[in-house]
């Protein structure tokens, strides 16, 4: 199982191990996602630009796709939210998503009474992962009154 890494040299080694070229953009993206998991591509691009001065949006998307395909990043797509990226890969963890602010928090696999993690009929598929998203209201939003003008009705 791969876990978060620290340091540019380790990230560079991971890129090489996966057969990817080591570029400053890829290193900046890996570091950005390590420092702040569950960022959108737009947020990652902004952090990469802060680190590098300039990087094209196309380069960020190409790097995100390459890093995800190589298993160095995990892409999560909660309904109604842009794709988010994280460095926690190689395990089958799940996510808690706030309905109000879209904050995402990792949660380890369900223990005990699990919600449908194994299909009744796998239709011949070899199942290797269950993608569970728990929806609710995060602690910060619970302390903040709802704003009907922003469409916050739940």
Q: What is the pLDDT of residues 96-146, one digit of tens each?
A: 999 999 999 999 876 655 556 677 788 899 887 778 899 999 999 999 887
CB 136 within 8 Å of CB 123: no
> Which positions ≥6 away from 40 have C-beta within 8 Å?
81, 82, 83, 84, 85
Contact status, residue 72 vs residue 30, Cβ threshold 8 Å? yes
CB-CB contact of 85 with 44 (8 Å) = yes
Instruction: List domains and CATH numbers for the chain.
Output: 8-76 (1.10.10.10), 92-154 (3.30.1490.190)
Quote the tokens at residue 76: 């999560």
Mean pLDDT of the chain: 86
pLDDT-above-70 percentage for the chain: 84
| Measured distance CA(105)–CA(141) in Å, rounded | 14
Q: Tell me the two tokens of residue 33.
A: 């996602």
Asked whether the beta carbons of 71 and 14 are under 8 A apart, the reply is: no
Tell me how crowded residue 63 is: count the other CB atoms within 10 A of its CB: 24
Mean pLDDT value across residues 67-81: 93
- Rounded to two decimals, what is the model's pTM? 0.79
Nearest to 23 by CA among 40, 48, 5: 48
What was the pLDDT predicted at 149? Answer: 65
């Amino acid at each position: 199982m791969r876990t978060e890494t620290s340091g540019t040299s380790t990230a560079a080694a991971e890129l090489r191990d996966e057969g990817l070229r080591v570029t400053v953009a890829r290193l900046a993206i890996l570091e950005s996602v390590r420092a702040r998991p569950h960022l959108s591509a737009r947020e990652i691009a902004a952090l990469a630009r802060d680190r590098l001065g300039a990087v094209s949006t196309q380069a960020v998307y190409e790097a995100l796709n390459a890093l995800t395909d190589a298993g160095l990043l995990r892409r999560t797509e909660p309904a109604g939210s842009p794709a988010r990226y994280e460095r926690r890969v190689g395990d089958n963890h799940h996510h808690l998503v706030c309905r109000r602010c879209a904050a995402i928090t990792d949660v380890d696999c369900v223990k005990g009474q699990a919600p449908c993690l194994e299909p009744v009929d796998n239709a011949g598929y070899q199942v290797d992962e269950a993608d569970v998203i728990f929806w609710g209201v995060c602690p910060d939003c619970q302390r903040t009154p709802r704003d009907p003008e922003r469409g916050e009705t739940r």
